[in-house]
């Protein structure tokens, strides 16, 4: 049975998070033209805050600024924006992570969410060289200890992965028992960990039936532990006043990427060891030939970008209708991004917010005759955007 909540969908607007491009930004994929200077990241965060986004994702990786430090800095320069902060089991001890989390949550006034990242493949350069089974076994134990510490418990735990005697976090977080834990992953062990430990299971954008199947798995795993889990979706967005403008903008985003770049990136993604990455790469097949994988879902971003590789593309009504389809599956939080992130944050707030029934403090609500809140017919795609 698909995990759905149509009443929730009909009555509420979803949470909308934006993205802080701490690895660089630009107008085209594969060509970052704006370095991730702190002054620019501050502009993006303050824009998202002022526009009325609920939160922002801080990405993690070797080319990104550290998420804990960046969240600490940006939280002092924003008012209501929440920050989704990555923690890597194995790189942080659970005691240190619990203390950092509690401090960051207190300093920010309770505006921290946690994104637990198990990683993928081999990470010799980080000193963490584990198989997939070992990574998720570590994550499972780590989260059990981490959650207990933030509940205020004194923890003794000894295993192949962790050794801890009378560990304590000492100071509490503002959010009790701890800030919300987000967790993603498409492999069987990832879904099991999500069911036991996550507050929000986060999926990258796939076709609705594929997302629903994963949600059902997580829902069943959570039920085994007497728990419930919320759901989120991470994707990009290209919204314009008309369908033609939106699809032209999508095309422009990848127009200068060479076939060689696409082939090299595709091979690296396929060999990454990540089930989620494999599924994203399968949507585009490493080619420009069939990038429209749904009426308003486009797989072009994933040609050269690792991680989230799909985008919602279209006019405000059609993009809103596409998001509502996932909301009907149980999604209550969408983490969106667009290139470049400063300008696109304004576009999303101006165009998409009203279509989802929410307002932005920056913009006066448009007349209903100017911006329809309902989907408009989408013409049958042609050429390399043919439907599949």
Asked if residues 239 and 314 have their Cβ atoms less than 8 Å apart, the reply is yes
Which tens digit of pLDDT belongs to each residue from 233-279?
Answer: 999 999 999 999 999 999 999 999 999 999 998 888 888 778 888 89
pLDDT value at position 365?
65
Query: CA 62 to CA 119: how far, in whole Å?
Result: 12
| Alpha helices (runs of H) in 230-340, residue ranges in sequence order | 243-254, 259-270, 275-284, 316-327
- Split at pLDDT 50, 70, 90, the class of 385 is very low
Domain boundaries, the chain: 6-355
The residue among 212, 202, 186, 204 whose CA lies nearest residue 297 is 204
User: Pseudo-torsion of CA 53, 54, 59, 64, nearest 10°?
Assistant: 60
CATH number belonging to the domain at 6-355, selected among 3.90.190.20, 3.20.20.30, 2.30.110.10, 3.20.20.450: 3.20.20.30
pLDDT value at position 369?
39
Please state the rounded mean pLDDT for residues 30-35.
86
Which tens digit of pLDDT belongs to each residue from 102-132?
Answer: 999 999 999 999 999 987 655 555 667 788 8
| Alpha helices (runs of H) in the chain, residue ranges in sequence order | 6-11, 38-51, 67-75, 94-107, 132-150, 188-197, 208-224, 243-254, 259-270, 275-284, 316-327, 341-347, 353-355
3-state SS class at 196: helix
Counting other chains too, the contacts that 206-210 makes at CB distance below 8 Å and 24 or more residues apart are: 206/279, 206/280, 206/283, 206/310, 207/283, 207/293, 207/294, 207/297, 208/294, 208/325, 208/326, 208/329, 210/279
Average of per-residue pLDDT values in the chain: 89
pLDDT value at position 198?
98
277 vs 355, which has greater pLDDT?
A: 355
Q: Is it the case that residue 154 has pLDDT exceeding 60?
A: yes
* Secondary structure in 3-state letters for 248-280: HHHHHHHCCCCHHHHHHHHHHHHCCCCHHHHHH
Please state the rounded mean pLDDT for residues 337-363.
96
Residue with tokens 């997939």: 132
Q: In whole angstroms, how far apart are CA 305 and each of 8, 106, 265, 299?
A: 33, 34, 8, 10
Q: Is it the case that residue 14 has pLDDT exceeding 50?
A: yes
pLDDT value at position 121?
54
Query: CA 250 to CA 46: how far, in whole Å?
Result: 26
pTM confidence score: 0.90
């Amino acid at each position: 049975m698909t995990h759905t909540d149509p009443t929730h969908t009909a009555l509420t607007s979803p949470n909308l998070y934006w993205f802080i491009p701490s690895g660089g930004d630009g107008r085209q994929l594969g060509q970052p033209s704006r370095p991730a200077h702190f002054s620019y990241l501050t502009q993006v965060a303050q824009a998202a805050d002022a526009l009325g986004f609920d939160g922002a994702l801080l990405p993690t990786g070797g080319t990104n600024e550290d998420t804990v430090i960046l969240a600490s800095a940006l939280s002092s320069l924003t008012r209501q924006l929440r920050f989704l902060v990555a923690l890597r089991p194995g790189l942080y001890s659970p005691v240190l992570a619990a203390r950092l989390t509690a401090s960051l949550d207190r300093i920010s006034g309770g505006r921290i969410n946690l994104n637990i990242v198990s990683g993928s493949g081999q990470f010799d350069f980080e000193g963490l060289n584990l198989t997939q089974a070992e990574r998720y076994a570590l994550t499972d134990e780590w989260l059990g200890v981490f959650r207990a510490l933030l509940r205020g418990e004194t923890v003794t735990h000894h295993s192949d992965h962790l050794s801890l005697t009378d560990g304590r976090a000492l100071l509490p977080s503002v959010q009790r028992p701890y800030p919300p834990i987000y967790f993603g992953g498409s492999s069987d062990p990832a879904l099991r960990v999500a069911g036991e430990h996550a507050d929000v299971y986060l999926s990258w954008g796939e076709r609705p039936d594929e997302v629903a199947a994963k949600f059902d798995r997580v829902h069943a795993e959570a039920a085994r532990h007497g728990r419930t889990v919320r759901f989120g979706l991470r994707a990009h967005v290209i919204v314009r006043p008309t369908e033609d403008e939106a699809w032209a903008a999508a095309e422009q985003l990848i127009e200068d990427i060479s076939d060689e770049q696409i082939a090299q990136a595709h091979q690296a993604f396929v060999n990454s060891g990540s089930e989620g990455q494999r599924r994203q790469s399968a949507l585009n097949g490493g080619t420009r030939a069939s990038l429209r994988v749904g009426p308003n879902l486009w797989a072009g971003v994933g040609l050269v970008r690792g991680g989230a590789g799909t985008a919602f593309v279209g006019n405000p009504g059609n993009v809103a209708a596409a998001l509502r389809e996932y909301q009907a599956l149980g999604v209550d939080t969408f983490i969106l991004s667009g290139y470049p992130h400063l300008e696109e944050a304004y576009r999303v707030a101006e165009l998409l917010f009203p279509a989802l029934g929410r307002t932005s403090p920056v913009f006066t609500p448009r007349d209903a005759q100017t911006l329809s809140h309902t989907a408009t017919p989408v013409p049958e795609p042609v050429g390399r955007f043919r439907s599949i």
